[in-house]
Amino acid sequence: MSGPAGSSGSLRRYRIVVLGDGGVGKSALTLQYVQHNFIDYHDPTIEDAYQQRTVIDSEPCLLDILDTAGQVEFTAMREQYMRCGEGFIICYSITERHSFNEAVEYRNLITKVRASEDVPVILVANKVDLEATMRSVDTREGEDLAEKFGCPFYETSAAHRRHVDDVFHTLVREIRKRS
């Protein structure tokens, strides 16, 4: 194995951080993306990293995904991964108004740590499979917030695997645009 193109060492890595209020489905989205199944229960206190090899627009790459846990607080550990992350997925649940409000706080934290507005971000409204009975945040509100953030927006369902790949792959494209 000598050709750089064939060795895994040459794979471009993308460091992705998944943020959002507890219970919005960060772990469900991450595990659905990586393992192709819906995890009904995942310990909310567990923060874990996953790796996924994939090909996006003909470029083979390795996604390093950090599925975070905990509150939107400015701890040393949070600051560390906000500095190291190249792209961020900010999630809320369409069933929880509070999680939508918190999305703004996550975005503010990223902007503060990076001292920049131009950080690759995707805004994600999860649990859209529950919209018939439990929606409390309208699509339009999500779209408007994403426009304020200047970032792409998806309504997803980790349960139905709706737009899950789109979220991760669009984020990689946002990172590429800036590098």
Identity at 137, one-letter amino acid code: V
Residues 6+ apart with CB under 8 A from 143: 153
Q: What are phi and psi of 41, to 5 degrees?
A: -135, 130
68 binds Mg ion (CB under 5 A): no
Residue sitting closest to Mg ion (CB): 27
Residue sitting closest to ligand GDP (CB): 25
Q: How far is the CB of 106 from ligand GDP (least distance, A)?
A: 12
Please identify, among the stretches 71-79, 107-115, 126-134, 145-153, the one whose residues bind ligand GDP according to the rule CB under 6 A.
126-134
Q: How far apart are CA 51 and CA 25, in angstroms?
A: 18
Q: How far is the CB of 116 from ligand GDP (least distance, A)?
A: 26
Please identify, among the stretches 20-28, 57-65, 106-114, 168-176, the one whose residues bind ligand GDP according to the rule CB under 6 A.
20-28
Please identify, among the stretches 36-44, 57-65, 116-124, 136-144, the one whose residues bind ligand GDP according to the rule CB under 6 A.
36-44
User: From its phi and psi, is residue 123 left (phi > 0), alpha (psi between -120 and 50) or beta?
Assistant: beta
Residues 6+ apart with CB under 8 A from 3: none
Binding site for Mg ion (CB under 5 A): 26-27
